[in-house]
Structure 1
Amino acid sequence: MSRVTLALVALVGILAGALGYSAFNKPAPQTTDAVAVRAIVDAALAERDAAEKPQAVAAIDPAQLNPLIEQYLLSDPKILQRMSVALDSTLQAEQREQSTSAIASMRDKIYNDPDQVVLGNPKGDVTLVEFFDYNCGYCRSALPDLATLLAEDPNLRVVLKEFPILSNESIDAARVAVLVGKADVDYWSFHEALFSARGQVDKGAALTAASELGLSPVTLEMQMGEPRVSQAIQTSYEIAKALNITGTPTYIIGNEIIPGAIGIDELRSRIANMRECGEAQCQG
């Protein structure tokens, strides 16, 4: 029982005597000193207030603390290495969680957009998505990697997302590419031709490559501004914004968003992981 409680119990007893009641409800002689009662009440209230106040925290002097921290770290420098590894693991886990959530929220637009170009096996067991710009030098250098993967992996599905962010000429080329993707022609030949072209890829280069596949450049130029074409490109922008994609090439494999041309070996590894554990990076 706390001192506050004991004081209050004592106070109740004293007040009962002061009111002049006995156990048999008969008047009793008044023996309580009013000053003593007041002192007990004040002491009880003061103790209660002290218990309710937050405890003061002693100030820490950096001049004393910092040398202790430094001495502790110097005694085992590998602590910093372990902290760095732990931090990297935590950040990677958070990034995977964020990417998984973002991809799930846009899954249908990423994988099933009717305006996107699908290469390889349409029913493949692994899907590789690439966001690209026809004027992106890194996309150009990564083209052989994609060609090799398509040639060696009959169960790979590749989705190409027009993501023209480098220039107005890139947007014009992408508009033509959307129309070519809808036509009954070999899109890969068009794709290779634009990435093999010298100089900047613009509307003229795209129309020339399309005409070599038998399409009418006049008709394509007339259709470039149609809402359906704009919407196809806008969908890529919406996905990129939701997934925080800001550059090209950017790949999506499983629950991982991969910025940059990471090379064919890394792509092969991610694809193999998808088949092994259902994620781009298997744990453990």
Structure 2
Amino acid sequence: MSRVTIALVALAGILAGGLGYATLVPPAPHTDNVAVQAMIDDAISAYDTKRSAAVAAAPAQDVAAITPEAINAQIESFLMNDPKILQRMSVALDSTLRAEEREQATVAIASMQEAIFNDPGQIVVGNPDGDVTLVEFFDYNCGYCRSALPDLATLLAEDPGLRVILKEFPILSNESIDAARVAVLVGEADADYWSFHEALFTSRGKVDKQVALAAAADLGLSPVSLELDMGKDSVSKTIQTSYEIAKALNITGTPTYIIGNEVIPGAIGIEELRERIANMRACGQSLCDS
């Protein structure tokens, strides 16, 4: 059986799934072409190990008689005798890649610690001195972010020890950038940012500058002054910091959460978020060994 045929067999054993995640650049899947090739190589290697032992014990003339056709037939027989090996390899590979991703995320988060958790321009809601911090990167025109808003609202209401950092990450449109600029100014003002945040995510249609200014005006802020200040360097710096963090952590879509040493892409739902928060309190990490 040719390596191409083996590849097709391997691909048939790979399971894929996804979560709600608005993105301009799709994240790399856990099992790509390189990973599939690695799976094939591992299967052949396992066969070669057995073959080498047999060859070592066989007379020299028998070794010379082994042909590529015979090898391919034996490889096919090896895989067909235990076809679930590809599924087990896929699971093991996925587990290894996830562990590598967590390790890389831990290093990247540590290198950006201050910018992620202590940036003076960021918005903090909930308990500013909470024992667990949840960071969300969002875009006001992200439908998945909109659907995840009730989850965050529930967590804030039920968990008095939760600190939430909201990172403006406008990646979907120019209108998103304008809305984010207004939002940064609202965050700097003496205003109820969470009410503004909810107003934008519960508005109809595309969220743009006018929608954001109207929501800010409802809080008593001057839309004229806000529009004049949208181009301030401090506003640009706050948004640019989010882009820099996203680049360092390979964040390519919204919503994306950070908790502990884990970067979590997609709207994973309130139960998953609760579990990560509980784990942080239990073992100091988002994923406990037990």
**Structure 1 moving runs of 4+ over 3 Å:** 58-61
The offset of 1:83, in angstroms, is 1.6
The corresponding residue for 1:227 is: 233
Structure of greater Rg: 1
When structure 1 is superposed on structure 2, of 83-92 and 106-115 the one drifting more is 83-92
Does residue 187 (structure 1) correspond to residue 193 (structure 2)? The answer is yes
Once the two structures are superposed, residues 108-145 of structure 1 have per-residue CA deviations (whole angstroms, 9 ceiling, x without a partner) of: 10000000000011111111000000111111000000
Does residue 79 (structure 1) correspond to residue 85 (structure 2)? The answer is yes
The offset of 1:59, in angstroms, is 11
The corresponding residue for 2:261 is: 255
Q: Distance in 1 between matches of 2:122 and 2:68?
A: 60
Q: Distance in 1 between matches of 2:222 and 2:110?
A: 39
Instruction: Identify if the C-alpha distance between structure 1 residues 63 and 135 changes in structure 2 by more than 3 Å, giving closer, same or farther.
Output: same
The corresponding residue for 2:172 is: 166
The corresponding residue for 1:216 is: 222
The offset of 1:62, in angstroms, is 2.9
Report the secondary structure of 1:281's partner residue.
coil
Q: Distance in 2 between matches of 1:257 and 1:104?
A: 12
The corresponding residue for 2:109 is: 103
Equivalent of 1:197, from 172, 185, 203? 203
Q: Which blocks of at least 5 consecutive residues in structure 1 are unaligned?
A: 1-57
Report the secondary structure of 1:68's partner residue.
helix
The corresponding residue for 2:60 is: none
Q: Distance in 1 between matches of 2:245 and 2:219?
A: 30
Determine what percentage of the aligned residue pairs are the same residue: 78
Q: Distance in 2 between matches of 1:236 and 1:62?
A: 55
Q: Distance in 2 between matches of 1:99 and 1:239?
A: 11
Q: Distance in 1 between matches of 2:194 and 2:227?
A: 20
Q: Distance in 2 between matches of 1:77 and 1:248?
A: 38
Q: Distance in 1 between matches of 2:270 and 2:104?
A: 25
Q: Distance in 2 between matches of 1:277 and 1:175?
A: 38
The offset of 1:259, in angstroms, is 0.8
Amino acid at match of 1:72: F
Q: Which blocks of at least 5 consecutive residues in structure 2 are unaligned?
A: 1-63
Report the secondary structure of 1:234's partner residue.
helix
Equivalent of 1:91, from 63, 88, 97? 97
Q: Distance in 2 between matches of 1:259 and 1:211?
A: 33
Q: Distance in 2 between matches of 1:60 and 1:273?
A: 55
TM-score (norm 2): 0.76
Equivalent of 1:123, from 116, 126, 129? 129
- Report the number of matched residues: 228
Q: Distance in 2 between matches of 1:271 and 1:133?
A: 23
Does residue 145 (structure 1) correspond to residue 151 (structure 2)? The answer is yes
Report the secondary structure of 1:201's partner residue.
coil
TM-score (norm 1): 0.77
The corresponding residue for 1:21 is: none
